[in-house]
């Protein structure tokens, strides 16, 4: 039995069935296993409508890591696409990190086969570089910057109007707390309007906790991998525990925290690029784009 599936005195908030119910404290409701997936889908749909995340006829590219959050997102958007009148395709960036990257690409492929959607893959290796630390940038920040650049370029090539990522409530909360602790009052938005250098960016799981995506992929047998990047640093994720504790002490407090901080904080500026790369002409915040910066550093050795 799944840890979140508990016997509960009440009845399903949707169908009123009694017995074994799922309680996700962030939702403030108990649901039966049949009603749970539809409930999660409707929450995501409602955020997408309220935040004007799409227009009818849009093609939405979903950034698939191979992991469970983006797998849940793809499954949810696939369930919603007819009603929202959008098309969806999968996008995957293979970061060339050995076996981990192979397993991740295979998981994204299995997921797209399962859903019957197209998958487009872009590879770091095709750029003639490999991910490693450069100057003061650590490996994970180089990887993140290169991945964003590769996905932006892929959406431009494919004429995809919207790029959706699987960031969950847990990711957003952690970002907000790190910002507060370092005096940086900025937060990612659920939706970023398109700019000349990139498509509209959306985070449909902004208010969906990982507890819900975990259960969603398990209940519906959605393919994903839980293999972990060799560079994964648990210390970077330690703040997630703090919010688990807060949620346990004060149910629904974490969602309220995210709503309040979203109002109080400025948009995160990392994705707004004002310049173009002196070598390749792609958008960047610096003299060179992340890919050319890496190539220059590696050619110098």
- Is 180 a binding residue for Zn ion by CB under 5 A? The answer is no
39 versus 257: smaller Cβ distance to Zn ion: 39
214 versus 282: smaller Cβ distance to Zn ion: 282
33 versus 246: smaller Cβ distance to Zn ion: 33
Is residue 265 within 8 Å of 185, Cβ to Cβ? yes
23: tokens are 């309680």
Nearest-angstrom CA–CA distance, 256 and 298: 46
- Is 268 a binding residue for Zn ion by CB under 5 A? The answer is no
Which H or E run includes 202?
strand 200-202
Q: Which of these, 165, 161, 169, 164, lies nearest to 43 by C-alpha position? A: 169
Smallest gap from Cβ 242 to Zn ion, in A, equals: 32
SS3 11: strand
Q: Pick the piece of the chain touching Zn ion (CB under 5 A) from 65-73, 84-92, 227-235, 275-283.
A: 275-283
- Is 280 a binding residue for Zn ion by CB under 5 A? The answer is yes
Smallest gap from Cβ 152 to Zn ion, in A, equals: 12
Q: Choose, by CB under 5 A, the member of 6, 15, 52, 250 that binds Zn ion.
A: 15
Q: Where are the alpha helices (DSSP H) in the chain?
A: 36-50, 68-84, 99-115, 139-158, 169-181, 210-219, 239-249, 253-264, 290-299
- Is 13 a binding residue for Zn ion by CB under 5 A? The answer is no
Nearest-angstrom CA–CA distance, 81 and 84: 5
- Is 149 a binding residue for Zn ion by CB under 5 A? The answer is no
Site for Zn ion in 223-262 (CB under 5 A): none
SS3 37: helix
Smallest gap from Cβ 272 to Zn ion, in A, equals: 17
- Is 289 a binding residue for Zn ion by CB under 5 A? The answer is yes
Q: Pick the piece of the chain touching Zn ion (CB under 5 A) from 24-32, 59-67, 123-131, 150-158.
A: 24-32
Cα of first residue to Cα of last residue in the chain, in angstroms, is 54
Binding mask 29-58 for Zn ion (x = CB under 5 A): ---x--x-----------------------
Kindly give, in sequence order, each residue whose CB lies less than 8 Å from that of residue 198, ignoring residues fewer than 6 positions away.
152, 155, 156, 163, 271, 273, 283
Nearest-angstrom CA–CA distance, 161 and 192: 12
Q: Choose, by CB under 5 A, the member of 279, 295, 296, 297 that binds Zn ion.
A: 279
Smallest gap from Cβ 79 to Zn ion, in A, equals: 17
Given the rule CB under 5 A, which residues bind Zn ion? 12, 14-15, 17, 32, 35, 277, 279-280, 282, 289, 292
């Amino acid at each position: 039995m799944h840890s979140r599936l508990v016997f509960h005195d009440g009845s399903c908030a949707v169908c009123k069935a009694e017995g074994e119910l799922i309680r996700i404290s962030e939702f403030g409701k108990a649901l039966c296993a049949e009603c749970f997936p539809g409930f999660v889908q409707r929450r995501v749909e409602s955020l997408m409508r309220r935040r004007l995340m799409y227009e009818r006829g849009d093609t939405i590219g979903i950034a698939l890591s191979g992991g469970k959050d983006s797998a849940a997102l793809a499954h949810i958007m696939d369930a919603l696409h007819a009603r929202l009148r959008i098309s969806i395709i999968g996008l995957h960036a293979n970061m060339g990190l050995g076996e981990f990257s192979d397993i991740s690409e295979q998981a994204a492929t299995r997921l797209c086969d399962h859903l019957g959607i197209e998958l487009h893959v872009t590879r770091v290796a095709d750029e003639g570089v490999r991910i490693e630390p450069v100057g003061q940038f650590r490996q994970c920040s180089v990887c993140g910057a290169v991945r964003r650049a590769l996905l932006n370029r892929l959406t431009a090539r494919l004429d995809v109007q919207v790029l959706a990522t699987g960031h969950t409530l847990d990711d957003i909360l952690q970002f907000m707390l790190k910002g507060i602790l370092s005096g940086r009052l900025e937060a990612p938005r659920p939706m970023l309007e398109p700019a000349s250098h990139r498509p509209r960016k959306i985070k449909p799981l902004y208010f969906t906790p990982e507890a819900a995506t975990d259960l969603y992929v398990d209940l519906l047998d959605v393919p994903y991998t839980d293999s972990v990047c060799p560079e994964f640093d648990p210390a970077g994720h330690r703040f997630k525990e703090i919010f688990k504790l807060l949620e346990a002490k004060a149910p629904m407090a974490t969602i309220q925290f995210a709503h309040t901080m979203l109002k109080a904080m400025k948009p995160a500026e990392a994705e707004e690029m004002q310049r173009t790369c002196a070598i390749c002409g792609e958008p960047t915040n610096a003299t060179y784009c992340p890919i050319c910066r890496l190539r220059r550093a590696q050619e110098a050795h």
